[in-house]
Amino acid sequence: MRWDNLADNTTQTGAGALFAADAVTTRTFDTPEFRGITFHEIRARSIVNRVPGASRMPFEWTVNPYRGCTHACVYCFARKTHSYLDLDTGLGFDSQIVVKTNAGELLARHLASPRWHGAHIAMGTNVDCYQRAEGRYRLMPGIISALRDHANPFSVLTKGTLILRDLELLKQAAEVTEVGISVSVGFTDRELWRTVEPGTPSPERRLDVVRTLADHGIGCGVLMAPVIPFLGDRPDQLRDTVRAVAEAGAQSVTPLVLHLRPGAREWFMAWLAEHHPSLVRRYERLYADGAYAPTWYQRRVTRRVHELAAEYGIGPARRGEARRLPPPGTPTPVPVRDDPGPTQLTLL
Ligand code: SF4
């Protein structure tokens, strides 16, 4: 184990807006699950972020206890946010993790403020709050406890099976307020999973989370994201995924086609060139107009997933869920106000 002070060996442009530079500690752990990963522990100055332009978004307030994500999804839209901390958006995003160690206490204080009005808080909207680091830092129990104690409605979007550790707390919270859980499973193709989401639990294990939550009376939707063109959009792949989602007992399934904004685009295209070079031209054409696949393509995928959902008996997203998750294809280039730089909002 090694301890450093990040401010001693790293230039943290803009980091002062997020935390005091002298309050940063860099730490590595010599255990297999954290080998090669560096944690930058900070005491954040604020934890509740307002999403500007929330009229276009299904939620207005977010809490993100981590920056960077060891789930290391190649397409991750949050990569660019690492550049605001002068950290690398490629491997650096996967292995340099900022941890807001005081997230729970900050949130408790925020919720107790007479100025706070009890609005819905969304988590997992930037990076995964149940990524591997959470197993060590255990920030979410404090966060969920604070939300429970203040009967504050909230939602969590995750690819992490670690959420089941907090099942009891989630049940307690669900007794006093609205709790929405969504698990992200874009496909069940194991080969694709191994290469494109190398640090995540397998799709099967994520669907076990859905099943377990349902068994305990906590409704859970699946964000089928991303549907990856030419790699995860074959009819049999869509069918296999929706069928597995249905069998897991998900309340709803919401497809979202891959989008490739700057930061994610370069990293994904480099991966594509290495693993599927024959697809590079097709991608350049499909994403020629920018970050989003053409509307006709998004509609085609969405319609097919909805047809399959109906066939397998998964209900449409309820009104409450629609508030937490955007409709398929919704652009989400949303800055978060109290992080340094124009942080963009992502969906897992
Ligand atoms: S897409 Fe989600 S789970 Fe994957 S690396 Fe990004 S934040 Fe983590």
Rounded Cα–Cα distance for residues 17 and 67 (Å): 14
Pocket test for ligand 1, best of 71, 96, 125, 200 (most atoms within 8 A of CB): 71
Output the residue whose Cα is nearest ligand 1's atom 7. Answer: 127
Band of residue 32 on the pLDDT scale cut at 50, 70, 90: confident
> Does some domain include residue 200?
yes
Pocket test for ligand 1, best of 67, 159, 194 (most atoms within 8 A of CB): 159
Rounded Cα–Cα distance for residues 219 and 130 (Å): 18
Average pLDDT on 162-187 reads 97
**What's the domain range around 267?**
178-333
Query: What distance in angstroms lies between residue 33's CA and the mean position of ligand 1's atoms?
Result: 17
Mean pLDDT of the chain: 86
> Does some domain include residue 16?
no
> Does some domain include residue 133?
no
Average pLDDT on 283-302 reads 97
Distance of CA 295 to the CA centre of its chain: 24
Q: Give me the number of domains the chain comprises.
A: 1
pTM of the model: 0.86
Helices (H), 256-294: 264-275, 280-286
Pocket test for ligand 1, best of 123, 125, 131 (most atoms within 8 A of CB): 131
Query: For position 54, what pLDDT does the model report?
Result: 55
Band of residue 206 on the pLDDT scale cut at 50, 70, 90: very high
> Does some domain include residue 247?
yes
Query: What distance in angstroms lies between residue 112's CA and the mean position of ligand 1's atoms?
Result: 31
Pocket test for ligand 1, best of 70, 123, 200, 202 (most atoms within 8 A of CB): 200
pLDDT 10s digits, 128-168: 999 999 999 999 999 999 999 999 999 999 999 999 999 99
Query: What distance in angstroms lies between residue 231's CA and the mean position of ligand 1's atoms?
Result: 18
Question: Got the DSSP string for 95-126?
Answer: HEEEEETTHHHHHHHHHHSTT-----EEESSS
Instruction: Give the nearest ligand 1 atom to 348 CA.
Output: 2
Instruction: Give the nearest ligand 1 atom to 78 CA.
Output: 6
Query: What distance in angstroms lies between residue 113's CA and the mean position of ligand 1's atoms?
Result: 31
Three-state DSSP state, 320? helix
Query: For position 328, what pLDDT does the model report?
Result: 33
Query: What distance in angstroms lies between residue 127's CA and the mean position of ligand 1's atoms?
Result: 6
Query: Of 18 and 119, which is predicted with more confidence?
Result: 119
> Does some domain include residue 305?
yes
Say if residues 73 and 196 touch (Cβ distance below 8 Å).
Answer: yes
Element (H, E) at 180: strand 179-184
Q: Is the pLDDT of residue 31 over 90?
A: no
Query: For position 14, what pLDDT does the model report?
Result: 37
pLDDT 10s digits, 66-93: 999 999 999 999 999 999 888 999 999 9
Instruction: Give the nearest ligand 1 atom to 75 CA.
Output: 1
Q: State residue 63 phi and psi, 5-degree precision.
A: -130, 125
80-84, 120-124, 237-241: which range is least confident on average? 80-84
Band of residue 170 on the pLDDT scale cut at 50, 70, 90: very high
Average pLDDT on 57-74 reads 93
Q: Is the pLDDT of residue 346 over 70?
A: no
> Does some domain include residue 137?
no
Query: For position 55, what pLDDT does the model report?
Result: 55
Query: For position 258, what pLDDT does the model report?
Result: 98
> Does some domain include residue 208?
yes
Instruction: Give the nearest ligand 1 atom to 79 CA.
Output: 6
> Does some domain include residue 26?
no
The CATH number for 273's domain is 3.80.30
Ligand 1 pocket residues where CB is under 6 Å:
69, 71-73, 76, 78, 127-128, 131, 159, 200, 348
Query: For position 344, what pLDDT does the model report?
Result: 38
14-18, 19-23, 252-256, 280-284: which range is least confident on average? 14-18
